[in-house]
Each structure stands twice: as C-alpha cells, then as structure tokens.
Structure 1
Amino acid sequence: MKVLLATDGSETAMSATKTVEQLAEHNPIDVTVVTVSYDPQRYQFQPWVPEWTEKENARTAQILSDAKKTLDPACQSVSIRHLSGAVVPVILDEAKKLKADLIVLGAKGHSAIGRLLLGSVSDSVASRAECSVLVVRPSETFRFPRIVVGYDCSVASREAVAEFMELKLDDETQLDVVSVAEQPYVFVGEGFAGPPITLGPEQIRPIEETGERMASQIAEHYHHTQSHTPVAAHVGEAIVRQAEAINANLILVGDTGQSMLGELILGSTSKYVLRHAPCSVWISRHHTKTTDGATTQDATTEVSDAVATN
C-alpha cells in the first residue's frame, strides 16, 4: 500500500504517524512523509525571509527526521519531502504523483463548542482527495480494536469493506456493521417537515438482511462482528451514535463523491461522519479504482476474496 502521510509536527500529526506505524507492523506499506511550508518567494522583498527560511528548514527537517525514525522499523520504505506552496493543493498533487492509495493526516479542532470541528486542511484534503483518506483523532490507542462500518449495499460501501479487509488487523478486532433504515419525512410547503412516515418490519427487514450478509462475510475472519439496523432520520448521525455507544476507535465509510470542476466532493453522509465522529475516520474511495462497468456483484466478489485471503 502506498501511503502519503502529511505532518506538521502537531500532536494530531504525531498520532497519525503512530497510526501508520501500527498499520505497517503487519501490512506492507511504502510511506512518503510530507510537510508543506508556504512559499517564501511570495514575500521575497521582506527583510525577514532569509531568517525565516533558515528556521523553517531546520524545524521541518526535525519533524521529518522524527517521523522517519518512527516509521523506518515498520514500513517497507520511508521517503521524506519538504514542499512549499498552498498546503491542500500541494498534498493533493503529491498524492496524485505518488498514485497513493491512502492519505493519512491528523484532525485539528478549532472549536471548543460542542464536537470538535476539523481544521481546514484536514477537511479540505478529505473532501477533495481522489484516493482514500484516513483522518486521525488522538486516542488512547493507535490501533483500531473497535470499528464501525457504515454500510448501505452500494458499490462504494462494498468496496470500502474490500479495501479495509485487505489489511491485517488483530483477530480480536470488533466490527459493528451499521445499515441505517432512513426515516422518511413528508415535506409540506417551504421547508416544513410533516409527521414522519412510519417504517414497517417489511420495509426494514431487507436493509437488515443486507447488513447481516456483509457482517457474516467479515465474521469469517473477524469473529467479533455484528450488524445493526437503526431507524433514523439521518444516516450519518446514526453511524456516529453507534460509534459513541461502543467507544469506537474508527469509522469506515465509502464515499461516492460527485464531480465538481474535476474534483471529488464528499457526500452528505461522509461529510457528517467526518465532522461529527468522536474517533478517527477512514473515507474510502476504493471504488474509483474499479472500471466504469463494475457492478454490485463485482464488489461482493471482491469482499469475499479479500476475506478469504486475509
């Protein structure tokens, strides 16, 4: 797996580094560690540029050296790069050049009110990347013993499971597959929501069965796997609630993305989970690697194959 690790030396970035180290202990990972400084050429006429450049180079060299020292024993290969420019486009461009499978970076909170919101860099990279992205929040563990999988039977969610099942994790890992039966509302007039339409067992059961089938496939390797089918008005909120209930370390969701001026943007469920999750979030875009003709059955086969070879 080719991983781009973006770091700025912060606490959350160091957590991201430790997470990559833990994943690399049992998985073949080639990692490129990147730090990005703004381009001093934009301020070339300022008298402080030479001194700033010298200090920034020394600071960045130490960050990269520390990351390499941490990752060298576990990873197949470790490359380090100090780049300059606008942080988000530089990270995204570097990921394209490397043909990275996964971008890993830390989440930075910027609000003390309610749930911590993602910093602009993490949010923008996760929203616009063309590959999968793991946004790491600091935790008592850098492993993922408790994982919530958002699953809706789409190709994106099936491919997300297939991508994740390619990893080797602890056999005791607990996975909760959450397939949400979305509660529909009747809209009357401008933005007014009338009484919800009640879902009956005959409507919920097909959703429940798809979640159970996926959970049974995962359980062939990770025996502590179970499925849940909550009825909720918002899919993302239900996934986050389940993560809170089991004190999850990671939420896995597949993102279909939509094309906007050549870039992918997050769907509403992925964006909600990313911004409200109490734990790290893995947004999978593994489905973008399949051919345009890929079908749901193709994805099902890939999940089965990944489970069989794990």
Structure 2
Amino acid sequence: MGSFNASLGKGFILVGFSDWPQLELILFIYVLIFYSLTLFGNTTIIALSQLDIRLHTPMYFFLSHLSFLDLCYTTSTVPQLLINIAAQDHTITYGRCVAQLFSVLALGSTESMLLVVMAFDRYAAVCRPLHYTTIMHPLLCQALAISSWVAGLVNSLIQTGLMMAMPLCRYRLNHFFCEMPVFLKLACKDTAGTEAKMFVARAIILVFPATLILGSYAHIARAVLKVKSTSGRRKAFGTCGSHLLVVSMFYGSTIYTYLQPNDSYSENEGKFVALFYTIVTPMLNPLIYTLRNKDVKGALWKVLGRGTDSR
C-alpha cells in the first residue's frame, strides 16, 4: 500500500510518444490541425442546429449532442498530448489523472448510448415514417439524451471507483493520457477479480448497444429494399450509411481497446488506436454526417448571408 501512497504523491509520468522522438514534431503538427478542425466542425454543427429552424428536428438534436460529446472527448485528451510534446513535461498529478480517466470513460460510454438512440431515430424515420413525429416527440428526445448521459456517468463511476480501489505499484503510464487498460498494468497484485467486473461493465456499455444498432439497421435495410423509388432508396441509404460509418469507426476501435484481455493488450498499438478514436473520429463525424447534406449546406449559406437555401 506504500507504493500506492507514493504514486498518489508523485502523480504519474505519461510516456506519450517519447519512445519515437523523430515522430513528435510531425505528430504535434497533425494533432494540432486535426484538433482545430474538430473544434471548428463540431462547433459549426451545434451552432447551425440552433440557428436554423429547418434543423430543429430529432436527428439534428441528437447530432448536436454527438458534436458536443466529441468536443468534450477530444478536449479531455488532446491538450495534454500537445503540452507533453511541446514542453517535454510528461508528468500529471494523481487527481488530474483520475479526473481524465473518469471523463474519458463517461464521455465514451455516453457516446455509445447516444449512437443507439440515433439508430432508433433512423429506424423510426425509415420504418415508421407516418408515425415518426408522434414517436420522436421532443420530450422523448430529451429523455433519451438525458438517459444516455446518465448511463455514461454511472458506468464511469463504477469503473473509476473499481480502479481507484486497486493498489498501484508503478507510476509510469505508457500512453498519452490516463486510459483504463494501461492503468490496469500499474496494479501491484493480481487484478483478475476487478478486471472481470470491469469487463462486464464495458461489455454492457459496448456490446449491448452495438447489438441493438445492428438489429435496428437490419430492419432499416429490409424496409429500404421495399422502397420502389430509386431516389428515395438512395436518400435513405445515404442518411443511414453515414450513421453506420460513424458506428463502425467508434465501436471497432473501442471494442479493440476495451474488450481484449489485459495480458494481450499492446501499449504501443493502443496509443495509435487511441489517436484514431480521440482525434480522427471526432474530426470526421461532422464531415460524414453533413458533407452531402442539403439542409446543413442551406443553413450554412443562410448564416453566411448568401441566400435562404442551398439551391
């Protein structure tokens, strides 16, 4: 327990990408550019969803929540990485590390639940179009969004609590932020029991939502194939396809990181996978959802004063 108290006082050393010093400058430039694009893209989505009445729909309500999540998620990790590379200061206090661990888990878990809600919204729009406005009532949309946040916070509280109860023997984290799989490698003793509890919590927040999403899209695909209009079918597949792309990127990278046994987890591989879901995915989400979207383009031109629609 003495080692744990020592680490509590010292804090931790985040190794980051210092093992590859030749990569650090290039990485700093790319991360800074991607982070700037993430801030711009997601802030634009939130602003347009508020400013244009045509975007006051359930889909854009949930998309605004996703954009806000991505802003928070990337901001909880990227500034720390940029500081570590630029200042060569790789230390982080125990309190900040635990706060980062909690926030990353909470935001990631919330996004996992929100993607299910967005899949349900698309299911209602495609499979129940005549009843869509009745089903996706504003009160239900708010309740679903709040439930996603609450579920994410509860899951993070459970996992962070279990992690903090473990005695830690080392304070060198081979990562660029405080992430659960790397944290587990600092434990002094056998963590099989705690790992099993955490695995169950992670499986519930990742596997169960992913299964629900796949089920909803199976129904959507069946309904779309029955549509006789080629343009209607293309529009439905376009909207749902963008959501599926986001889903596959998010769940693919997080399941790889969080649902493999701790013994087989590669810290070096984990760092590069983490770069993908903390930096690349949040930057791509606004583009994937809106690049070919006439409503968003129309709202943007309207805000910029170039007309009232995109035609």
TM-score normalised to structure 1 length? 0.25
Q: Which has the higher contact order (CA 8 A, sep 6+)?
A: 2
TM-score normalised to structure 2 length? 0.25
Which structure's residues are more often strand, by fraction? 1
Which structure's residues are more often helix, by fraction? 2
